[in-house]
Every structure is written in structure tokens, then in C-alpha cells.
Chains A and B, each alone.
Chain A
Amino acid sequence: MNVIKESSGSQLTLRIQGRLDTTTAPQLETELKASVEGVTALVLDLAELAYISSAGLRVVLMAQKIMNKQGTMVVRNVDPNVLEVFEVTGFSDILTIE
């Protein structure tokens, strides 16, 4: 997994590439916690995310909970396989997917 950060002011875009699973989710969690302070608009760009496991979903949920307190979060460009997971788990009801 690769995370590419694009930051401008209080806006942060994280482009997550590859597989977000039990081995890589902790890395994203660390990355998020380190960079989300002061951010009011978070974008998760998942165009190149090929797979998400339950561990990955939990990090996305954590990000959503943080952003509920300090701003907004949008999940963008979701690959069909990952979208299927969001839908089957009910995550599509709690995330803002564009």
C-alpha cells in the first residue's frame, strides 16, 4: 500500500493505492493520526485501492469519526470491488461517497 498526501490549507487528500488489509491498515492509521490535525476537509481518493479488508474498514471508520468532530470527509473514485464491500457492509450508508 502507498499513501500519497496532498495538502492545501485545511484540506487534505489521501490517495490510497494497493491493498488496505491487516498488514497495511496500521500504516494508514498512523498516517491519518499524524496528519489530520487542523484538517476540516478530508478526501480519501480510492481510485487505485484494489482491496479493502475489515481492518481497512475500521481505519476508514476511525477517519470518519474524527472528521465528524472537526469537519467533513468525502470518499472519492471508489473502485467497483471496494464499492461492493462498502455496500455489502452498510458502510455506504455512513460514508459520503462521490
Chain B
Amino acid sequence: MNGTMEQNVLKLEFSGHIDSSNAPAAEAEALAQIEAQPHEGLILDCQDLTYISSAGLRVVLHLRKLEPELKLVNVSSEVYEILSMTGFTEMMPVEKAYRTLSTEGCEAIGRGANGTVYRIDRDTVVKVYHSADCLPDVQRERELARKALVLGIPTAIPYDVVRVGESYGSVFELLNSRSFSKLIAADPDGMDTYVDLYVDLMQKMHSTHVKPGDMPEMKGVALGWVEFLRDYLPPEQAEKLVALVEAVPERDTMLHGDYHTNNIVMQNDEVLIIDMDTLCVGHPIFELASMYLGFVAFGEVDPNVTLSFLKLPHETAVRFWKKALAKYLGTRDPEAVRAVEEKAMVIGYARLMRRTIRRDGFHTEEGRANIELCRTRLADLLPRVDSLTF
């Protein structure tokens, strides 16, 4: 029996057919490994395990008595079935092995920065990631999407994670949908309809409460952005910026975190949200700030940025933002809308400035122009904005 240590966790490989004839030997071997290697946790890797009888199950039970945190991974469907029927899957963590999927002959229907999407059948697609290192991110996104789905947020079903060649893929429900960006680009005069649908869904999301710990807290992330700027802003501005973010109350409100018109799609008459990896909780001002960034600030220096990002002319994006904000706030009073917009701008420009600096912005002309824009805007806004909440 192979045993390997990784981060103080001992992994033992269970393989072949474990029944009454070899279970005692397997147990003795496992115990010898456990004795020999000091460890904090134990994992049974069942990748090559094809069958386990009741005698084998008793070995697992015995090991679990010694190691209450015992976990089984890479379990084949056949062995999982046995573990499930005998109630073992209820007693201890059991992770199924990933299915292997081939995309040969499948139609590639989308290519993104980190993966390619293939249609596998009538109802499902698989997003194959370019790098196998992204598995933790893939699982995090799926987990967030699952939580949102159970809370009633319309999004595609994340099915399972699969092995595709040397990399991983995530299987999703296929949506026959068009993004709001495309719908607006095709019908700019119909914008108001899309504004209404877009804001309805945002309000549904923002009236959803999330259990503590289920999603990351946005305020902490935003504090990271503004702390970063201490080295780049005059001290009194940096001080005020940090104090403003610190004063934002914590909330259990669900936020999307990247709520722009590429991520809102329409299928028949349903409006759905995709790209759930940025889901978080927090005060809605953080959502508005990220929207301001996407619709307005990204394309201020170079409007072509908006065109390539949202496939919308910058002025159309700005118009959409202003309408959406007014609708969200439920007011037509331009001053009331402007006041909230300025709060969103404070966080939006802070984030853009940090982002640009971290992406080597001081060394490109466009980067320097963006940093200068953020500096100017923050210098103008910070003295008069006294709270980020509304």
C-alpha cells in the first residue's frame, strides 16, 4: 500500500478488490503506515479501488475510529454505490472521482480568458480550463453558484467537475441565451425595457440574505484596495478613503460583484445571471461601485475599452448606467442619483487606481492616464463625500 505525506496529511492508496481474503492484510498495512508517519489527517485515495466488501468496510470503520477526520477521495461510481447503500457516505466525507470527458467532435461555442466552452449535448456544456491549477477556483465558483441557485437566484445549473485530458472542466446547463450587452447593442431604443429587467434581478439579489460564512465579505476586499493606495495618495485623502470604507456597515446582502450587461442574459423570457465566481455579501454600494467601473470608468480614458469589453459604445454604456442607477434607487431626482453615484465613484476610482498600478500602469501611457484620472477624481470627491452608504 502506497502512503504519501502532503501538508501533514497522510494519503493511503486503497486499490484493487478488498474483501475478506485480503482485508486483514490491508488493515495491517494501513496501521503500519499510520504508526510510521506522524500526521494530522488521513485520506484514503480510492482511485484504483474496484470493489470493497463488508470486511473491507470494517477496515475503513476501524481506521475512522483512530482518525475521526478520515476522508475518502477519488471514489469510483461502483464503490460509491456500495458506500452509499451502506450509509458510509452519510458517516464520513466521500468524494467521487471525476468523470473523464472527451470534447472530441464537440462544437466549441465560446472562448474566454481562462477556458473554452464546448457543447456536449442538447442540455449541457463543459467549460474546459486552460490550466489544471485552477481546480480550486473552479470548485469555489461552482459552490457559490449552487448556493445562489438554492436561494432562488436564476443561474445555470453547475453539474459536475470532470477530467478533460490533462485539465479539468466544469459541466453546466446549456443556456440558449443572449447577453444584455448584445440585446442592447441590437436595440438601443429598447434600452428602458432592459434597464427594468436588469434592475429587477439586481433587486431580487440584493433582497436575498446569505448565511454567515457562505460567501466572502466584500468590505474586507474593498479595505484591501484602499489600504493599498496609502502609498500613492496624499495622506489625508488615503486616511479619509480608508475611514469611509471602514464605516460601511457589514451586511448579509447577496451581491454579484460583477453585475454588468455581459453577465446578465435572457433565455426566452427568463433573465439569468452567469459568472458566479465573484458572488459575495456586503452593502450594495460595492455592487454599484463595480458597475460604475464597468459601464463608465473603464472606458473614460479610451472609449474603445468599453467597446471591446461590453461590445457597446461608451456613451450607450454610460446612459444605461445612469438609467439603471435611477431605477434602482427609485427616484428621478437627479441630485439624489448623483449623490449615490459619487459614493460609487469613490470606491470605483480607488479600485481602478489600484488595479492599474498593479498591472504595471506607471509604465504605459494609457496606464498613466488612468492613474491620473483616478487621482483627479478622488482629489475632487474625497473632501465632499462623507459617507458611502445610502
Contact = CB atoms under 8 A, between A and B. Distances in A.
A53 B122 CA distance: 12
Contacts of A61: 150, 152
Contacts, number: 49
Given A54-B272, A57-B149, A90-B150, A22 B123 contact: no
B154 A90 contact: no
B323 interface: no
Interface of A: prevailing SS: helix
Nearest to B159: A88
B146 interface: yes
Nearest to A61: B152
Interface residues of A, number: 20
A93 B270 CA distance: 25
Contact of A54 (B173, B268, B269): B173
A23 B268 contact: yes
B173 A53 contact: yes
Interface residues of B, number: 20
A22 B155 CA distance: 12
B156 interface: yes
Interface string B250-276: 000000000000000001111010000
A91 B149 CA distance: 9
Contacts of A85: 157, 159
A47 B269 CA distance: 28
Nearest to B155: A54
Nearest to A62: B152
A94 interface: yes
B158 interface: yes
Contacts of B270: 22, 55
Contacts of B268: 22-23
Interface of B: 123, 146-147, 149-150, 152, 154-160, 173, 176, 267-270, 272
20 contacts: A22-B267, A22-B270, A26-B269, A53-B123, A53-B157, A53-B173, A54-B156, A54-B157, A54-B173, A54-B272, A55-B270, A57-B157, A85-B157, A88-B146, A89-B149, A89-B157, A90-B147, A90-B149, A91-B149, A93-B150
Identify the 7 closest CB pairs spanning chains A and B, nearest first: A90-B150, A54-B157, A22-B268, A90-B146, A22-B267, A89-B149, A61-B152
Interface of A: 21-23, 26, 51, 53-55, 57-58, 61-62, 65, 85, 88-91, 93-94
Given A54-B157, A88-B160, 5 more contacts: A54-B173, A57-B149, A58-B152, A89-B158, A90-B150
